[in-house]
Structures are given as C-alpha cells and as structure tokens.
C-alpha cells in the first residue's frame, strides 16, 4: 500500500511539474508573440504541445504564430487541434475559419472549392457560440460577399450580417454595408456609408482600416489621387502596420509612380518580412524596371 501511495505522489508531482512548465512557457511565448518574435514563440509552443497534447490554448496560440509566419496549412492543423480539445470556444472556431480562408487565397480553384464549406461552417459555429463575436461576423459577411452562390455566397446574407454588426460595432457594420452596396451596384449608397464612417471615426486610430477599404473603393472608381490620400491617412493613423504601406504602394502603382510604389512595398517588408503580397509586387516591379 505504501508503495502505491508513493507512486501516486510521484505521479502527481510529475503532473504538477508539467503543468507548471507549460504555464510558465506559455506566458513566455505570449510575451515573445507580443514583441513579434513569432519563430521563438513557435518553438516554445511546439515544445509545450509535444509534452502535453491536451493543451488547447497552446495549440491555439501556436496556430496564431503560424498565421503570422504565413504557414496557413500548419495553422489550420493547430486550430483544428484546439477546436477538437475545446469545441465550445467561439474564438477557436473563428481563427480556424480564418486559417482556412487564408489557405484558400493561395490555393488552386479545386482546393478553394473544397475549403469554402469549411470556412463557412467555422464562422457560422463561432457566431452560434457567441453572437457578439465581431471578427466571426465580419468573416462570415466577407465569405458571403466573395464566394460564388454555388459555394454558399449570398449578398442578402452579407447584408443581414452587416445590419447586425451595425448594432454591435458600427464601423465594421458600415464597412460591410458599403461593400454590399458596391456588390449590388449601388455606388451612391456605398459612398454614403463611407462618408458616415469618415465623419464619425475618421481620426480614430482604432479604425484606421476604414481608409484601407475606402482607398480601394476610390481606386476602383479611378480616383487615384484621392485613393493615395486615403492610404496616406491610414499610415498616419497606423504607421506600425505593414499593410498600410502595401496599400499606399498599390495606389502609387496605379498612378504609374513606380519608384514611390517600390519604396512603399519595401517599407511594408521592413515591418513584416513575411508579407507575401508586397514581396510579389516588389519583385515584379523591380524586374520590370
């Protein structure tokens, strides 16, 4: 009996040591991630899940690291593990949908078709689990807007999400509604949404992405200089975001200002060397000029 008790104590101490190791290293990985040391954070997280395959949070954060490193297929695997371990977590389902979507963007048409229902399903589950999950509602609305009808796309359903978002998060709701009106070929209603956004949130750093959406809207209308001004405003509000410079690069490229476009793509890559879109555009412009 004494031997059995001793064995149980040893097992409990061993389990506690593993838990302590995991918790300490999880906090260390979070801190590294906050400082954008994604590879180091990833290494620590991989060590955690190797020792404990039941740590849903570690799998989840590992997925986020792989997303940051643009390894979307690996990120999908990590989020699948997190979801399997904690099916009731809305955010885990949302990020799994995001990973599938990012993977689809760089895949063949056949793979896109295979991933489409999986993207939709994860966003729908995330919303069902937490109706106030803004990211999941935005993701679902974007899916409805971009996917063809045969794959589950629906402008009317995107409109429903936009209206719901309007009550939960007005800026994101109005951006979705503007995109819906664009899809419905109602430019005056789309412009109305952007005007309301700029009036109410035009100087709020939290909503710098308004200028990104508005800038591309202007580019599509052929209003290149106005688009460039919008992208510059985005940089003013969010100078730490690589995408801000990538967008301005697109504006300059459209205006035929190639040297300036190259400068912006380089700035984007200085902030985020893994930004594939900037890399491709920069390589193309440098080869052509």
User: What are the pLDDT digits (tens) for 105-144?
Assistant: 888 888 888 999 999 999 999 999 999 999 999 999 999 9
Is pLDDT larger for residue 20 or for residue 80? 80
Q: What is the pLDDT of residue 112?
A: 85
User: What are the pLDDT digits (tens) for 13-32?
Assistant: 444 444 555 678 889 999 99
**Domain range summary for the chain, segments of one domain joined by +:** 21-128, 131-200
Show the tokens assigned to 144: 């409805």
Q: How far apart are CA 221 and CA 89, in angstroms?
A: 41
Residue 131 CA from chain centroid, whole number: 19
Q: How far apart are CA 95 and CA 116, in angstroms?
A: 15
User: What are the pLDDT digits (tens) for 47-75?
Assistant: 999 989 999 999 999 999 999 998 999 99
Could you tell me which of 224, 226, 235 has the C-alpha nearest to residue 257? 224
- Give the single-character DSSP code of 147: S
User: What are the pLDDT digits (tens) for 203-240?
Assistant: 999 889 999 999 999 999 999 999 999 999 999 999 99
Show the tokens assigned to 101: 């979507």
Q: How far apart are CA 85 and CA 197, in angstroms?
A: 40
pTM of the entire predicted model:
0.83
Alpha helices in 38-169 (DSSP H): 38-51, 56-68, 72-85, 90-105, 109-129, 134-146, 155-168
User: What are the pLDDT digits (tens) for 129-188?
Assistant: 999 999 999 999 999 999 999 889 999 999 999 999 999 999 999 999 999 999 999 999
Return the CATH fold of 21-128: 1.25.40
């Amino acid at each position: 009996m004494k031997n059995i008790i001793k064995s149980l104590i040893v097992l409990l101490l061993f389990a506690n040591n593993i838990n302590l190791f995991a918790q300490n290293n999880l906090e260390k990985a979070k801190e590294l991630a906050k400082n954008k040391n994604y590879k180091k954070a990833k290494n620590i997280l991989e060590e955690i899940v190797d020792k404990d395959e039941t740590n849903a949070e570690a799998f989840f954060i590992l997925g986020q690291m792989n997303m940051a490193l643009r390894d979307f297929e690996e990120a999908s695997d990590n989020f699948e593990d997190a979801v399997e371990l904690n099916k009731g977590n809305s955010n885990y389902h949302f990020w799994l949908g995001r990973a599938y979507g990012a993977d689809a963007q760089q895949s063949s048409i056949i793979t896109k078709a295979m991933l489409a229902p999986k993207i939709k399903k994860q966003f729908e589950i995330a919303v069902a689990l937490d109706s106030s999950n803004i990211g999941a509602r935005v993701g679902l609305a974007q899916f409805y807007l971009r996917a063809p009808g045969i794959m589950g796309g629906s402008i009317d359903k995107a409109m429903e999400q936009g209206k719901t978002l309007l009550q939960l998060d007005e800026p994101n709701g109005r951006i979705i509604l503007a995109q819906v009106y664009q899809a419905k070929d109602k430019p005056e209603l789309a412009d109305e949404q952007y005007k309301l956004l700029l009036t109410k949130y035009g100087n709020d750093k939290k909503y710098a992405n308004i200028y990104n959406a508005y800038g591309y809207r202007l580019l599509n209308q052929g209003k290149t200089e106005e688009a460039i001004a919008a992208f510059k405003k985005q940089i003013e509000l969010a100078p730490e975001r690589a995408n801000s410079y990538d967008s301005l690069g697109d504006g300059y490229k459209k205006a035929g200002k190639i040297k300036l476009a190259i400068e912006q793509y380089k700035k984007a890559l200085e902030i985020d060397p893994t930004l594939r879109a900037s890399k491709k555009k920069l390589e193309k412009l440098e080869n052509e000029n």
